[in-house]
Chain A
Amino acid sequence: MTAVMQIRDLHLRFPTGRSLADFVTGRPGREVKALNGVDLDLKRGETLGVVGESGCGKSTLARCIVRLHTPSEGSIEFEGQDIFGKASRDDRSYYRRVQMMFQDPYSSLNPRMTTGQILTEALKVHNMRPEADIPARVAELLDLVRLPQDAQGKLPHEFSGGQRQRIAIARALAVEPEVLIADELVSALDVSVQAQVVNLLLELQQELGLTILFVAHDLRLVRHVSNRVAVIYLGRIVEIGDSETLFSAPSHPYSQALLSAAPSLNPDNRGAVTRLEGELPSPLNMPKGCPFHIRCRHANDVCRKDVPALQPFEGRGEVACHHVKEINAYA
Chain B
Amino acid sequence: MSMEDQKPILEVNELNTTFHRNGRALPAVRDVSFSVARGEVLGLVGESGSGKSVTLRSIIGLARRYGDVTGQVRWKGSDLVAMPDRVLRHKQGREIAMIFQEPMTSLNPLLTVGLQLEESLRAHTDLQRKARHDRAVEMLDLVGIPSAAQRLKDYPHQFSGGMRQRVMIAIALAANPKLLLADEPTTALDVTIQAQILDLILRLAQDMDMGVVLVTHDLGVVAQTCDNLAVMYAGRIVEQGPVRDVLRAPGHPYTVGLMRSVPENLPPRTPLSSVPGVPPSLDALPTGCVFAPRCSSCIEPCLQDRPALTLITDRRQVACFNPVTNAKGNVA
Contact = CB atoms under 8 A, between A and B. Distances in A.
A279 interface: yes
B119 interface: no
Contact of A270 (B160, B224, B259, B273): B224
A264 B48 contact: no
A199 interface: yes
Contact of A273 (B195, B247, B259, B261): B195
Interface in B186-201: 190-196, 198-199
B218 A279 contact: no
A255 B220 CA distance: 19
Interface in B271-325: 271-276, 278-279
A192 B231 CA distance: 14
A16 interface: no
B193 A275 contact: no
B223 interface: yes
A265 B259 CA distance: 8
A224 B191 contact: no
A192 to B, nearest CB: 4
Contacts of B271: 199, 202-203
Chain A facing B: main interface SS:
helix
A266 B331 contact: yes
Contacts of A54: 190
A267 B162 contact: no
A217 B190 contact: yes
Interface residues of A, number: 45
Contacts of A320: none
Nearest to B186: A263
Given A191-B261, A192-B258, A264 B220 contact: yes
Interface in A249-295: 257-258, 261-270, 273, 275-276, 279-280
A257 B191 CA distance: 10
> Counting chain B CB atoms within 10 Å of each CB, which of A220, A270, A273 scores highest?
A220
Contacts of B198: 263
A266 B269 contact: no
Given A196-B274, A263-B220, A224 B192 contact: no
Contacts of B247: 265-267
Contacts of B258: 191-192
Contacts of A257: 192
Given A199-B271, A266-B247, A217 B191 contact: yes
Given A192-B275, A195-B261, A275-B199, A264 B224 contact: yes
Interface string B39-76: 00000000110000000000000000000000000000
Interface of A: 47, 53-54, 160, 162-163, 190-196, 198-199, 202-203, 217, 219-221, 223-227, 243-244, 257-258, 261-270, 273, 275-276, 279-280
11 contacts: A53-B190, A190-B217, A192-B275, A196-B274, A224-B272, A225-B268, A225-B269, A261-B195, A263-B198, A265-B247, A280-B160
Query: Lowest 3 CB-CB distances: which A-B pairs, in order?
Result: A263-B220, A195-B274, A224-B263
